[in-house]
Amino acid sequence: MADPRYHDLARVLVRYSTNVKPGEKVLVEAIDVPAEFTAILVQEICDAGGFPVLEMKSQLVQRKLYLNATEERIKFIADIELERMKKMNAYIAVRGILNAKELSDVPGDKMGLYEKFWLQPVHLDQRVPHTKWVVLRFPSPQMAQMAKMSMEAFEDFFYKVCTKVDWDKASKAQDSAVEFMKKTDRVRITSPGTDLKFSIKGINVKKCDGHFNIPDLEIFTAPVRDSVEGTIQYNAPSSNRGFTFENVRFKFSKGKIVEATANDNKRLNDILDTDEGARYIGEFALGHHPYIDEAMDDILFDEKISGSFHFTPGNAYENEADNGNRSAVHWDLVLIQRPEKGGGEIYFDDVLIRKDGKFVHPAFVGLNPENLRVE
């Protein structure tokens, strides 16, 4: 018997996140997800009057594609997927994790072919700017282990952060923060190992209120491409190309990452050398989900951590908050600034906005956890 919470989750994805209307074409991409949930999701789309198109994938099988990647093979697949994506009004991706390290032995140059010739044209250039989209992780024993929880406890946590948020209330609370950021020029961020300065003048600011990811709640923009100066020391682990990076540190000059270190410097710099744009920042975002406190090395959760921000090497969101940076890479790396993680401050035009993970400016205090929790 299917978990009764499947229906609540499918309803959020279809009725709120993508707001499917009669006649709209919806691509459902289910990767390592129980068929019972996928069936309920397809039914919910049909009940809304949409036309579901279903793709069921396996990371185990995808690994074989990546291992055997050639430019010709990847372009052939991408051409087909791109033509399909162009016909879609909405995209719902539900991605399970059976083995977080499944891609750890795929060579970096092979993953680079995927990122450049498949991910970039199909998703970053077409899906992101031209469809209503939402991406969701699906609970699994692997995710429970990553979160250091029992499966039962993790499922309770998962459904709370995904379905027990008053998304409309949270969305309204973001509005004053967005307007303040739109008037901001200079940003300064300090934390242990971090002293960062950049400008966001003239770059659009967007709120994420459950229409891009579930779980959600972040506000993002991008730095002026060549304005970033200083250093940043991230304190949340982050997996990329199947490897978990820790203690990632960047030094910037004129917007470019000129020094990069972590627990594997070669792997890190291989990613940053994917193309010219990978060494520039494409996104700056404030995370503020009231129920997410700890990193679990899953970016759809980690980038929403209360009291965190992410500073993202790679591609900027062209139609949302564009600084002109283009790359096949878009890697959300997270720094948590709550006191138990070392604390820190964020200033906008020399005005203190957040201290030790807590918003202190009136335009932002509505985003603090006590103002968003509903139970």
- Name the residue range of residue 343's domain: 167-372
Q: Are residues 203 and 111 in the same domain?
A: no
The average confidence (pLDDT) of the chain is 95
Q: Which of 163, 197, 227 is the last residue of a domain?
A: 163
For 236-271, give the DSSP string.
Answer: S-EEETTEEE-S-EEEEETTEEEEEESS-HHHHHHH
**What is d(CA 257, CA 260) in angstroms, rounded to the nearest whole number?**
7
pTM of the model: 0.79
Q: Are residues 93 and 206 in the same domain?
A: no
Q: Which is nearest to 241 in space by CA: 278, 283, 193, 276?
A: 278
Q: Which of 111, 145, 163 is the last residue of a domain?
A: 163
Q: Are residues 146 and 103 in the same domain?
A: yes
Q: Are residues 159 and 176 in the same domain?
A: no
Q: Are residues 313 and 358 in the same domain?
A: yes
Q: Number of folded domains in the chain?
A: 2
Q: Are residues 183 and 82 in the same domain?
A: no
**What is d(CA 374, CA 164) in angstroms, rounded to the nearest whole number?**
8
Comparing 224-233, 289-298, 366-375, the range with the smallest average pLDDT is 366-375
How many helices and strands in the chain, by DSSP H and E?
Answer: 12, 20
- CB within 8 A of 10, min separation 6: which ones? 37, 40, 41, 43, 44
Q: Are residues 41 and 90 in the same domain?
A: yes
**Residue range 263-289, pLDDT digits in tens:** 999 999 999 999 999 999 999 999 999
Residue carrying the six token digits 């009291």: 307
Q: Are residues 358 and 228 in the same domain?
A: yes
Q: What mean pLDDT do residues 67-93 have?
A: 97
**Residue range 135-163, pLDDT digits in tens:** 999 999 988 998 889 999 999 999 999 98
User: Please, which pLDDT band fits residue 375 given cuts at 50, 70 and 90?
Assistant: low
**What is d(CA 91, CA 49) in angstroms, rounded to the nearest whole number?**
15
Q: Are residues 85 and 197 in the same domain?
A: no
Q: What mean pLDDT do residues 356-361 have?
A: 98
Q: Given this model, what pLDDT does residue 51 score?
A: 98
Q: Which of 143, 163, 183 is the last residue of a domain?
A: 163
Q: Are residues 142 and 171 in the same domain?
A: no
Residue 141: give its domain's CATH number: 3.40.1830.10
Q: Given this model, what pLDDT does residue 210 score?
A: 87
Q: Are residues 101 and 120 in the same domain?
A: yes
Q: Are residues 189 and 316 in the same domain?
A: yes
Contact 77, 65 (CB under 8 A): yes
